[in-house]
Structure 1
Amino acid sequence: MASTVTTSYLLGNLHCPSCVALIKSLLQDEYGDKVLWVSPNVVTSVVTVEHEDASADFIRRMGKTLEDVGFDICAVDTTASVASDVDSLSQAEQGEGSRSMPHQSYGTFDIWSRLWRNRTPPVESHASKAAAHLENCESCKDAAAHDQDHLSEDRVNLVRNLSFASSMQKPSATAFEGVVVGDDEAQTPRLRATISVGGMTCAVCVNTITDEIQKHPWVSKVVVNLVSNSATVEFTDPNRTQDIIEAISDLGYDAVLDSVVDLNEQKQAVDSREVEVKVDGIFCPRCPDRISQTLRNLGKSRIEILSEASMQTPRIKIRYIPNVPTFTIRHILQAIEATDPSLRASIYHPPTLEERSRAIRAQHQRTLLYREILTIIMAIPSFVLGIVYMSLVPDTNHTKHYLMKPWVSGLSRLEIILFALATPVYFFAADVFHVRAVKELRTLWRGNSRTPLLERFYKFGSMNMLISLGTSIAYISSVAQMIAAAVAKEKKAPEGSFYFDSVVFLTLFLLAGRLIEGYSKSKTGSAVEALAKLRPSTAILIDQAAAKGDSTTKTVDVDQLEHGDLIRIPHGASPAADAVIMTGETIFDESSLTGESRPIKKAAGEQVFAGTINKGDAITARITGTSGKSMLDQIVEVVREGQTRRAPVEQIADLMTSYFVPVITLVAIITWVVWMILAFTGKVSDAELDNSGGKAAFAFQFAIAVFVVACPCGLALAAPTAIFVGGGIAAKHGILAKGGGEAFEKASKIDCVVFDKTGTLTMGGEPQITDSTIFPDGAIEGVDEQTLLSGLKAVEENSSHPIAKAIVGFCGEKKVASELGQVEEIPGKGMKASYQNKELDIAVGNEHLMRDLSASLSHHVTNLLQGWKAEAKSVALVAMKHRQDSSWRIAAALSISDPIRPETTAVIQALQARGTQVWMLSGDNVTTAKAVAQRVGIPSSNVLAEVLPSEKAAKITYLQATLHASRSRSIRRRRHDYTTRRAMVAMVGDGINDSPALTTADIGIAIGSGSDVAISSADFVLATSSLPAVLTLLDLSRTVFRRIKTNFGWAVIYNLLAVPIAAGCLYAVRTGSGAHVRLDPVWAALAMALSSISVVVSSLCLRLRVPWIGFRHTPIAAVEERA
């Protein structure tokens, strides 16, 4: 069979389904079996033909057939060798033939005109082509009916131009070379793998996985999270991803790779987008190649194929540059579907970390549930026979007598039945514990293990091993007693020497505890899922025609939106992505993101965010942040990142649990030995020993109880569950805990809060010029008011500072900005510039700048400034000079008012009432800063003024070194009783401008960061600009950390009390009935399950608003009333 050739014809007038049907039938009828496949694509205007005849004559004839029915061929490309032959011939004849036979070239995609070299090309008038095309094209018939024939010619020219533009691009893999910025060739690879891990039950599991992975030299950081069932690994070898997965799997845990991110990779430019497209309906091996060819026909300068589809993996990954409305992801999907009627394209989203973890958790829960059902089935007859008949039914009962009668080797029928019931439970229900315990030991003692030999004896095992040892001792010792009875051929074996019923009930309670614990843990980490659900799945898209007055709309998936698309947001709907309102006014409820329940008015030009709800009239908005780049997406990412940050207190739990299993194993062995000694020395009555089945069996009961009752799960869950719940509560109030558990712990110990003035204590936003004076010291020669204001406006338009915007507004829209030469910015002081057409220099800034320029302030100006400062206003001065002069003169003085937030005073007083020191940091002058401080209640001694942005971090360091912590941390403390320990300092300011100070402080709190929540360097990011959120944050941090200590304390106390009781420390104490006080292994299993469940429930109770049990948010109205 001859090899297949693919030829593509770019047509200028392919634009409707009737054209597609005509081309298919025409070529297939005309050429029969020579044409294997025809795919006209109305999106790309390309007809792709697969055929066997590779001759130039055949390609010409197919093209001539298309032209005969009125299609205009703009360009042709083919995989046949004739293309390279024609190119070679063209180059050889370029010097002479091209002059005699001029023709228009359309680049590498065009060999059509060259195929007719040395032949007479078909010559048809445009009128005859148009008539032929009109006869066959339904779309053009409709256009002709409306006098729109010229549209076809315009389309031909457009396609020709696009063809030429795309063909001029070099067909290389680096077509998108300019999209990625930065050069990482010299950098050491740094990758981060996120893995979903199933089967973890306690802190020992976490430590086991962490220690195993950290042994590899190419691993730099490992964070394993018990609550989210995930692990994050940073490593340097790109080829080691599978090794990490296998290392976790070898330990007996389920591991699924979620994502691998290159930490060195620079961000792509905003005009490019990477997506993975899933194609359903691929039915033959050639379909993937056809899909790829279709995408290449869209132009290599606009789209790049990163990975191609296959029949096994029907997904194709692409990178493209959208151009709304002419080229979007919608056009790409349509082009793929137009390749073949059976294909359906959609954007593919790999499962998120939460979805993978939820799937693994669900699978693990199903595994436990099936085993629990089996155990329940076996537990019912075990309970009836082993407890009811043994304890409650009288000995005269015929059935009991039948069951208790020795049957084989002194074994009663009851013991045989209990053995039959316990065996499937031990091997098929408790197997999850045995398998993991064996894998842990095998990994520990394998030949290539990196664990030192001595360490293997004092750091091993997990909760699975303790459970496996407990059930195994009970089952194996009972089987051993049966074998011994059979060998000895006793007439009647002692009943108390068998623990088959204990095996069943141990497994029953242990599995039930695991199920309840798993369900409870899943409820603690629902913050990310709750936020993700705020995002709508569809949007109402307005066509380009709709922007011109037509109200045509259609509903599309959110994934198909592009930056620049117009959408309609009706009443009650949420924006599909971040957008700017184009038309209409409405009210939005942003409480889901910011925690503020009050409605926010929105008008044209203002931004709306995905996840908020339109409570007013319908509006039209333009997309500014597509899926994955919206504020909601950033919030989800920040919350997810915060959940991976561990609190320092967890290190204590890690240290304790790393030695927990060896210690408990040692205690159990000692317990068994001690009770054996007591039994052999006559310290235990013979009656008690007989009831227990002998000395060894009697001692085994205590050892089993120790194995089963010990529980490190509570220690491991104490901190992460509380942090997860606390992070979810914080997100509901618009507080994003980027620093995770460490940030919560530090925030609970804050002694001093430092506020930035502008935009934090004050409204910020758009301050106003309230007072002004022009030429306060008299006129300046050659400078009039128009010259001054036009120059001032031109200078301040180069700055994004709020005061600069206020000055531009003061100069007025009618003032035409002067043309400036060199413009220089002096950080923290102001700006200087030179007029381009005049011999003048201008400077605008604060008093520091004026002093640096030696511009003298007259007594009149000084008094004026002092008066404004006393009114808590900021001041700006303008100085000018002739270029040949050296002295500057004051040309204008301005005062700027930035209103104080209405809630500021109440928040300051509330902090001071708790004993928290409050300081203010400002770059403004001392007089203004102290005036503002006096109004809000901050002592003048706690004001740091005239601080440049670069100096703020140094001031934070100074406060950390000089302030001392309060002795009491009570929320209602009022006495300023300080210790010698340094104070914990929190900085509250802008998330970007104050970045160094936020990083230097013990806790950085970025307030009002808006859509830039992800780029802040702060530990906490407040999505709202409301100051009471700072109080909520501090209250929540103290509540969360108190709950962590409560959980941790309960887990420690439980083990300190339960283990000694299980070991028999209270055996000497007798009850009223004369029985000894001891903990049966079955009840020990129940106690163990309840211990970990109680810790999880304790953390979940944080969501309740009950005093001293949950967290209660204090509204600002209550804060103001209390203040």
Structure 2
Amino acid sequence: MDSNNLDGGVDAKGMDDLKEPLLKPLDINNKDKRIRTVKFKIGDIECASCATTIESVLGKLDGVKNATVSPIQGQAAVNYIPELITAKKIKEAIEDAGFPVDEFPEQDVAVTQLRIKGMACTSCSESVESALRMIAGVKNAVVGLALEEAKVHFDPSLTDTSCIIQAIEDAGFGADLISSGNDVNKVHLKLEGVNSPEDMSIVQSSLESVEGVNNVEVDFAEKKVTIAYDSNLTGPRSLIHCVEKAGRDLKLYQASLYVPPRRREAEQKHEIQMYRNQFFLSCLFSVPIFFFSMVLPMLPPYGNWLEYKVHNTLTVGMLLRWILCTPVQFIVGRRFYVGSYHALRRRSANMDVLVALGTNVAYFYSVYIAMKALALDKFEGQDFFETSSMLISFILLGKFLEVIAKGKTSDALAKLTDLAPDTAYLLSLDDDGNVISEMEISTQLIQRNDILKIVPGAKVPADGIVVSGQSYVNESMITGEARPIAKRLGDKVIGGTINENGCLQVKATHVGAETALSQIVQLVEAAQLARAPVQKLADQISKFFVPTVVIAAFLTWLGWFILGEFGLYPKHWIPKGMDKFELALQFGISVLVVACPCALGLATPTAVMVATGKGASQGVLIKGGNSLEKAHKVS
């Protein structure tokens, strides 16, 4: 590879300037290309002296390059560096000087995608959306419950991704950055020969000096570096050569392509394993409880031993159920307590609140019954230990099946991504267009304007234009057209399609995340994030679901208690050792427990997510839940 043609290559002289990269930061002038202009409409400007005052105040701010104030128009134009100061702080400085800002303009909108952890139901996603929309500068925020992701549009001059993540964490959830608007193309490199922090700093400074590099993240422990870049200005091969060229004083640095494991796959495997282990642990205690309470008492004489009295009317069966239920309630069910705490701290109620409330009422009422049986000689009361433990087990089973469904959807997206080939043939041409050399490279190393050779039967590695040869290309995976399409000089080809018979030379025009295939994957992910109209209705209902259930349970108890006080049902309905209050309480608890699994908010997003993923794997691209909902009208 010719080093003279590399974008941003660092020569030997340039490396002398990098001897102390930790002590000598990059010159601020390097950020001139990131200077932004913001305009304000300012009130109370009466003369040129007022304009001069504002200019003087703004000129003292760190990060403001220059400011011009027009006293006639009452307007200020400020050039500033967003890395050092935000438009909001500039506005506050003008107001502190005694001049009101009548109009605060809209800035460029950035987009970031985040993975949200700890959401249990629709109420959780609503809480995350509310927390995001309260951040100054956030224009729009959409949270997908089933996909466990959030897409946030925000003004980069007012906030950034770290503030957004902090707001989500303050709301009681976890958040990891998936991508931001500036990180369209990323490459991960594994480094060799980097043995000290100084070596890593040299590599980082070299990469940051390359034109087109937006961000460099280094991991010295793992000897890895992640670079976000503009594909119009540079590419992965140029970056690798830049690292190798940074070596000096007999230090040789080597960089190779590193493909990190898919984070979503690793997280989903961990999540599936976690719910599976919790479900089996819960079943280890719940199944014996079920047999002791529901099966063995119906099979005399095998269950007679459960009726033996331990003390007064406390039986062996009730004691065993109490002992076995306790670890399920407080160890396995701990996640519901944590979720409830965070929900109540946000002044909202989600499924965790309902589960914790229902199971705790059932458990502690059962403890009350057991204590009463321990104290009284004659008592007939029904405990709910099996209800509490089995309810937790069933909810964990539901979560286990749900994360498995999510995993299958991700598999469908992974199959889409895998349509692109792993390797490609890179050609080097002379000035007359003759092939000098041919080299097989990874498709992730393809750069814009590369000339690629595509043999018969091979997949097209990237979007491009045919510069030589003719053939037929099977584009059915994109267009659905079964017949191969003829391709000649100047025709466009799409990455992932199959070359049928002739040999083609293609000039790459779109690479990485800019290819049609990558955009299809992004479209499917966006469709999974979108909400169907019926889901919006379910979300509205779910906001009031938990309070409604609690009120219904209270009214049930109150109704039966009033009926008992007025003697409107036979007294023999009341079991021995119980009173009207306890009988009414049993009915109220039953309502609370039955309503626990809040599937209302989970059913629609899960269905949309699975449908869009399954459709994508079959070549059917569904734009979102709205399209799915209208599909029944198709004749």
Q: TM-score, normalised by structure 1?
A: 0.44
Query: Is residue 1038 of structure 1 aligned with residue 597 of structure 2?
Result: no
Match of 1:511 among 396, 405, 411: 396
Alpha-carbon distance in structure 2 between the residues aligned to 1:205 and 1:534: 35
* 1:421 maps to which of 316, 324, 341: 324
Aligned partner of 1:283 among 172, 195, 199: 195
Q: Give me the identity figure in percent.
A: 25
Equivalent positions of 1:51-200 (< 5 A) are 77=16, 188=107, 190-200=109-119
Q: Are 1:653 and 2:541 counterparts? A: no
Alignment check: 8 A CA contact 1:196 1:357 kept: no
TM superposition shift of 1:360: 4.5
1:275–1:340 Cα change, 3 Å: farther
Out of 261, 275, 294, the position equivalent to 2:181 is 261
Residue 427 of structure 1, CA deviation: 0.8
Out of 471, 488, 509, which is 1:603 matched to? 488
Deviation at 1:518, TM superposition (A): 3.1
- Is 1:581 aligned to 2:581, yes or no? no
Look up the equivalent residue of 1:438 and give its one-letter code: Y
The answer to whether the aligner puts 1:533 opposite 2:418 as a matched pair is: yes
Aligned-partner Cα distance in 2 for 1:649–1:229 = 19
2:350 is aligned to 462
Return the offset for 1:214: 2.9
Matched, 1:205 2:124: yes
Distance 2:290 2:557 in 1: 27
Instruction: Structure 1 unaligned segments of length 5 or more: list them.
Output: 1-13, 15-42, 49-74, 82-170, 268-272, 445-459, 745-1035, 1043-1110, 1115-1123
Cα distance in 2, alignment partners of residues 547 and 374 from structure 1: 71
What is the alpha-carbon distance in structure 2 between the residues aligned to residue 599 and residue 183 of structure 1? 51
Quick check: which has more Rg, 1 or 2?
A: 1
**Structure 1 residues 377 and 543: CA distance shift in structure 2, 3 A:** same
What displacement does 1:194 show? 1.9
Match of 1:781 in 2: none
2:599 maps to amino acid: C
Cα distance per residue 1:1001-1045 (max 9 Å; x no partner): xxxxxxxxxxxxxxxxxxxxxxxxxxxxxxxxxxx76325x7xxx
Match of 1:714 in 2: 600
User: AA paired with 1:505?
Assistant: M
Distance 1:539 1:650, change over 3 A: same
How do residues 775-814 of structure 1 correspond to structure 2 at under 5 angstroms? none
- What SS does the corresponding residue of 2:575 show, helix, strand or coil? helix
Residues of 2 paired with 1:420 and 1:523: CA distance? 38
AA paired with 2:176?
V
Q: Is the 8 A contact 1:197 1:357 kept in 2?
A: no
- What is the 5 A alignment of 1:314-333? 314-315=224-225, 317=227, 328-332=238-242
Note if contact 1:546-1:552 (Cα within 8 Å) is conserved in structure 2.
Answer: no
> In 2, are the aligned partners of 1:593 and 1:732 still within 8 Å (CA)?
no
**In the TM superposition, what is the alpha-carbon distance from 1:209 to its structure 2 partner?**
2.4
The amino acid that maps onto 2:615 is I
Counterpart residue number, 2:138: 219
Give the drift of 1:287.
1.3
Residue 290 of structure 1 deviates from its aligned partner by 3.5
Instruction: Name the aligned partner's letter for residue 362 of structure 2.
Output: A
* Secondary structure of residue in 2 paired with 1:345: strand
- 8 Å contact from structure 2 (residues 235, 446) kept in 1: no
Structure-1 residue corresponding to 2:341 = 438
> Residue deviations 1:281-301, cap 9 Å, x none?
6322221134256669xxx67
Contact 2:420–2:496 at 8 Å: present in 1 too? Answer: yes
Residue 441 of structure 1, CA deviation: 0.9
Aligned mate of 2:516, from 631, 639, 645: 631
- 8 A contact 2:10–2:206 mirrored in 1: no
Change (3 A) 1:361 1:306: closer
SS, match of residue 368 in structure 1: helix
Residues 727 and 182 (structure 1 numbering): CA distance in 2 closer, same or farther, change over 3 Å? farther
Distance 2:199 2:524 in 1: 42
Separation in 2, partners of 1:411, 1:553: 85
Report if the CA contact (8 A) 1:203-1:716 is conserved.
Answer: yes
Root-mean-square deviation (Å) = 4.3
The CA distance in 2 between the partners of 1:341 and 1:213, in whole Å, is: 47
* CA distance in 1 between partners of 2:456 and 2:249 (Å): 39
**Aligned residue number for residue 145 of structure 1:** none
The CA deviation string for residues 1058-1112 of structure 1, in whole angstroms up to 9 with x for no partner, is: xxxxxxxxxxxxxxxxxxxxxxxxxxxxxxxxxxxxxxxxxxxxxxxxxxxxx8x
- Looking at structure 2, the residues matched to 228 and 76 of structure 1 have their Cα atoms a distance apart, in angstroms, of 46
Q: Deviations over 1:280-321 (max 9, x none)?
A: 56322221134256669xxx6757685474625842647588
Is residue 588–residue 612 contact of structure 1 (8 Å, CA) maintained in 2? yes
SS at match of 1:466: helix
**Number of the residue aligned with 2:68:** none
Displacement of 1:548 after TM fit? Answer: 7.0
Which of 346, 357, 366 aligns to 1:478? It is: 366
Q: Pick closer, same or farther for the CA change 1:1038–1:636 going to 2, 3 Å.
A: same
1:602-621: per-residue Cα shift (whole Å, max 9, x none)? 23332211121123244332
Q: Whole-Å Cα distance in 1 between the matches of residues 515 and 322 of structure 2?
A: 61
Do the aligned residues in 2 keep the contact of 1:279 with 1:315 (CA within 8 Å)?
yes
User: After superposition, where does 1:965-1114 map in structure 2 within 5 Å?
Assistant: 1038-1039=630-631
Once the 2 structures are TM-superposed, how far is the Cα of residue 716 of structure 1 from its aligned partner? 5.2
- C-alpha distance in 2, partners of 1:506/1:558? 50
Letter paired with 1:287: D
Q: 8 Å contact 1:525–1:728 — kept in the other structure?
A: no
What do residues 727-775 of structure 1 show as CA deviations (whole Å, max 9, x unaligned)?
86379657573xx445x3xxxxxxxxxxxxxxxxxxxxxxxxxxxxxxx
Decide whether the 8 Å contact of 1:365 with 1:515 is kept in 2.
yes
Q: Residue 715 and residue 698 in structure 1: after superposition, are their counterparts in 2 closer, same or farther (change >3 A)?
A: same
2:556 to 648, 652, 671: 671
Distance 1:221 1:720, change over 3 A: farther
Give 1:183 shift: 5.6
Q: Within 5 A, what are the aligned runs for 1:284-363? A: 284-292=196-204, 306-307=215-216, 309=218, 311=220, 314-315=224-225, 317=227, 328-332=238-242, 334-335=244-245, 343-347=253-257, 356-363=263-270
Deviations 1:173-196 (A, max 9, x none): 656967x89866586364433221
What one-letter code is carried by the residue in structure 1 that aligns with 2:343? E
- Give distance in 1, aligned partners of 2:290 and 2:193: 56
Alpha carbons 1:194, 1:260 under 8 Å: kept = yes
1:720 deviates by: 6.8
Between the aligned partners of 2:491 and 2:370, the Cα distance in structure 1 is 81
Q: Are the aligned partners of 2:378 and 2:577 in contact in 1 as well (CA < 8 Å)?
A: no
Structure 1 partner of 2:291: 384
Q: 1:483 to 1:214 in 2, by over 3 A?
A: farther
Verify the 8 A CA contact 1:595 1:733 in the aligned structure 2: yes
Highest RCO, 1 vs 2 (Cα 8 Å, sep ≥ 6) = 2
Amino acid of the structure 2 residue aligned with 1:370: N
Aligned residues of 1:650 and 1:719 also touching (Cα < 8 A) = yes
Alpha carbons of structure 1 residues 556 and 572: separation in structure 2 relative to 1, 3 Å: same
TM-score normalised over the length of structure 2 = 0.74
Native 8 Å contact 2:337 2:356 kept in 1: yes
Say whether the 8 Å CA contact 1:536–1:576 is kept in structure 2. yes
Q: CA deviation at 1:528?
A: 4.2
Q: Is the partner of 1:232 in helix, strand or coil? A: strand
Residue 477 of structure 1, CA deviation: 0.8
Amino acid at match of 2:318: E
Q: From the superposition, tell whether residues 518 and 306 of structure 1 become closer, same or farther in structure 2 (CA, over 3 Å).
A: closer
- Alignment-derived partner of residue 158 in structure 1: none
Give the conservation status (yes or no) of the 8 Å contact 1:304–1:318: yes
Structure-2 change in CA distance of 1:475 and 1:736 (3 Å): closer
Alpha carbons of structure 1 residues 736 and 474: separation in structure 2 relative to 1, 3 Å:
closer
For structure 2, the 5+ residue unaligned runs are 21-25, 39-78, 80-104
Match of 2:384 among 476, 499, 510: 499
Question: 1:422, 1:503 within 8 Å by CA — same for their partners in 2?
Answer: yes
Q: Secondary structure at the match of 1:567?
A: strand
Q: Say which of 438, 444, 459 aligns to 1:553.
A: 438
